[in-house]
Structure 1
Amino acid sequence: MPNTTMAEQISQKPGFIAALDQSGGSTPKALAQYGISEDSYSSEDEMFKLMHEMRVRIMTAPAFKNHKIIAAILFEKTMDGLVENKPTPTYLWEGCGIVPFLKIDKGLEAEKDGVQLMKPIPGLDILLERAKKLGIYGTKERSVIRLANQPSIAAIAQQQYEIAAQVAAHDLVPILEPEVLVKSPEKAKAEVILRDELTKGLEALPGNYPIMLKLTIPEEANLYADLAKHPRVQRVVALSGGYSLDEACKRLKANHTMIASFSRALMDDLRISQSDQEFDAILAKAVDKIYDASVNKS
C-alpha cells in the first residue's frame, strides 16, 4: 500500500504541488528562461547538471519548506540526484515534509487526429521498482489534446488508465495528465469530452487503487468537480499550461476542487543572476500566490 501518512497529506492538506519535472526538449527552454543559454553547456550531461543545480536552489530555498507545498514532481535524473548529500526523495520528505512524485512518460507521439498519445515507456516496471525503493509516492504521465475529437480523446483516456494500472501494481499512485492545450481552438469542447471519458474510465476502473488527475484549468469553472469527489480520486490538480502566474491563479481560484501543480508559472521569474536574497523573495512571492489560489477560492 502507498505510504498512509503521505496519502493523508495528498488527500487533505491545504497547499499545492510543485512540478520540477522539465525534461528532454523542454530543458533548454527552462534553462534559457533561468538565464543559462545553450552555449553554456556542450553535452546533455552538462545540461542536466545545470538543471539539477537550479532545482536544488529551489528545493533548498526557505520558501520551498514553509509547508505550503505538499508535494513535488521530479524528473528521473532529479530523483537520482542528491540534495544536501541526501537522495532527492529523502530530502524532500524527511527534510521538508514534501511528498515526492516521479514523471515517467518518455515524451509524445506525433499528433494524429487532434491528440498526441504517449510514446512507449520501455523498462517502466524496472523504473517503478527503483522509484518505490527511493521513497517515491506516485508518478505522473502526460499526453496532449488539441482538438475536440471524441474517439481520439477516448484513446488518450484509455492509454492513461492503462499506464495507471501498471503504476498501481507497484503500490504507487498515478497522476494521469491528459493536457488540453490552452491555445486549442476547441478547448472548452475538448474539456467536456475529456471529463466524460475520464468519468467512464473511473467507473470501469478495476481494483481499489487510488489515482490523481492533473488537468488544464477548464474554461467552465468547476467542470471537474464531480471527478474530484469520486472515491477513487485522491486529488485533482491543475497545470499552468503556459498561462502567466497571474492568469493561472485567477482561473484556479474559480475552480473550488482543484489545487495547483504549476511548473512554468512557479519558476518564470527566477534567474541565475539573482542573489540568494532576491531569488528567495521572488520564489516566496510565487509560492504565496499559488497557495492562495489553491486554498482560498472565489
Structure 2
Amino acid sequence: MKVFIITGASDGIGAEMARQLAKAHGAQAGLVLAARNRAKLDEVAAQCQALGAQTLVVVANVSEQAQCRALVEQAVAKFGRIDALINNAGVSAQALFSDVKAEDLHWYENLMKVNLWGAVWCTHAALPHLKASKGSIVAVSSLAGLVGVPGRTAYSATKFAMTGFFEALRAELKSAGVSVTTAYPGVVATSIRHRGYNAKGEPAGSSGLKEDDAMSVEECARRILDGMNARRREVVMTAKGKLGRFAKLIVPGMVESMALAALKDEVKPH
C-alpha cells in the first residue's frame, strides 16, 4: 500500500488529486484527506472509496502547528507509514499594496501561516516517516512564486518563500532518497481566488485575474502527480510561466508588462 497525505483536499486541485490517486492505485491507496470542511472532505472520501481506496478524513487547520503534527500522527496510526506528503492547502489574495490599510496588514501574516508555515510544519512532522519510506514531498506553489504578480504582493511573498524553502530542503534530502517536487500552477479553474482575501482581509468574492484560458483542475492535478511520480524537481505549468521565469533575468520590464496584462482592467493600478 502507498499512503498519501493531501492537505487542502476538500475541493479543487487537492480533491482531484485524491480522486486520481484512488483511480490509479485502487485498494493499494491509503488517502489521508485534510482540510477544514468536514462535509466536503467526507464527500471526497466517499468518491475515493468508490474507486477502491482506503481513506482517513482529518479536519485540520494547517495554520496551527499542533494540528499539523496531529494530522501526521493520525495518518501513521491508521496506516503505519507515509509515502507522500502533498502540501496543497493554500489561500489566495488580490489587493494592491497601497490599498491595504495599516490596521489590516495582519492578514499578510495569516496568509503566510497557511501557505508557508502550514507546509513547513506538515513537512517537519512527516519527515522521519518519509525518510523511512524514501518517499516524496510535493509543494503546490504558483507561478506567482516565480514571478511577482501585481496586486498579489502577499500571495507572491508566501509562494516565493515556499520556493526557497523547498529548494533548500530538496538539496538537504537528496542523500536520504526523499524527492521534493515543487509545482507552479498558473490560473486554474477553481474558486480559490474567489475565496481569497481582498484589501481588508475579507473574502474577495471574485477573481482579479483574466481566466479565459484557465487550466482545468483535472489537467493541473494530473501534471502535479506525474511530476511526483517521476520525482521531478519542478513542474512549471504553462509556456508563459516557463518564459517568464527566464525572461525576467534578461528583460524584466517585459515580464512586468506580461504580469500586468494578466489582471482585469478594474483591478489594475492607475
Please classify the TM superposition score into its range, dividing by the shorter chain length. 0.3 to 0.5
Task: Pick the structure with more helix per residue.
Answer: 2
TM-score after normalising by structure 1 = 0.36
TM-score after normalising by structure 2 = 0.39
Task: Pick the structure with more strand per residue.
Answer: 1
